[in-house]
Amino acid sequence: MSVHLRRRPARGFTLIELLVSMAILAIVSLGAYSFLSTTSATAVRVQDRQAKLLVIARMQGVIAHDLSQWVNRPIRDELGDSLPPFVLEPDGALEFTRRGLSNPLDKARSDLLRVRYEMRGQRLWRVTWNTLDRLPGQKPLAAPLGPLGVVLRWRVQAGPNAPVLSLWPATTAGANASNRNVVTEGAPEVVDLKLQVAPWGELRRVFLLPSYDDI
């Protein structure tokens, strides 16, 4: 007696099951894409911030090197008027004389350099003159320094316990320039630099200037 086994037909997915599976796959894929997208965006932001911090560190390094070479040497501008060796102007520009100008060809010239830091728009610029006493029509060299979007403020002190000043040379109060007296000479001992940089807020750096005799 032979026994015939009836094979049950293979059961496939119903339309509803396929739709449910596709929906689950779509949700999982969307979550994975969102995670990867967020991770990628975070990595880009971190890289951008690291690059910006590096630019700020380089900027502060250049400023520190310039200030460490300060020397007490006044100059004359294009009109022949005398300018102090160290000036902090009302608009926030900082200008001073420094030594250490590179002379690789050993030319017969001074090793002194005039340096100016000024804001142009939202970026700090470094301006230099290789000739201290300027000639009419002489153009300086200028280059941007630091990132965009910076708010900068200089403050100076004649000593650690002296008043904090926003101008140098400082003068006594008077009705006009003729009856004001200069109460500071040479350069301050302390230069305080404050930067407002997004997203960190205020960054501060204090520089101590060396003491040099007159040239």
Residues 33-70 have pLDDT tens digits of: 666 666 666 666 777 778 888 888 899 999 999 999 99
Mean pLDDT (whole number) for 102-110: 60
State the pLDDT at residue 96. Answer: 95
State the pLDDT at residue 85. Answer: 92
Give the C-alpha distances (Å, rounded to integers) separating 18 from 14, 25, 83.
Answer: 6, 10, 84
Which two tokens mark 141? 């060299």
What is the distance between the alpha carbons of residues 123 and 144, in angstroms, rounded to a whole number? 7
User: What domains does the chain contain, in order, with CATH numbers?
Assistant: 57-208 (3.10.610.10)
Taking a C-beta distance cutoff of 8 angstroms, is the pair 188, 195 a contact?
no
Spell out the SS3 assignment of the chain: CCCCCCCCCCCCCCHHHHHHHHHHHHHHHHHHHHHHHHHHHHHHHHHHHHHHHHHHHHHHHHHHHHHHCECCCCEECCCCCEECCEEECCCCCEEEEECCCCCCCCCCCCCCEEEEEEEECCEEEEEEECCCCCCCCCCCEEEEECCCCEEEEEEEECCCCCCCECCECCECCCCCHHHCCECCCCCCCEEEEEEEECCCEEEEEEEECCCCCCC
Mean pLDDT (whole number) for 18-26: 72
Which two tokens mark 128? 């230099």
Question: pTM of the full predicted structure?
Answer: 0.72
Sign of CA dihedral 33, 34, 35, 41: positive
Closest CA to 169 of 68, 57, 83: 83
| Average pLDDT for the chain | 79
Q: How far apart are the first and last CA of the chain?
A: 126
pLDDT score of 12 more than 60: no
Higher pLDDT, 172 or 24: 24
pLDDT score of 205 more than 50: yes
pLDDT score of 178 more than 80: no
Among left, alpha and beta (phi > 0; psi -120 to 50; other), residue 80 is left
Q: What angle do CA 139, 145, 148 make, to 5 degrees?
A: 120
State the pLDDT at residue 176. Answer: 44
Q: What percent of the chain has pLDDT over 90?
A: 31
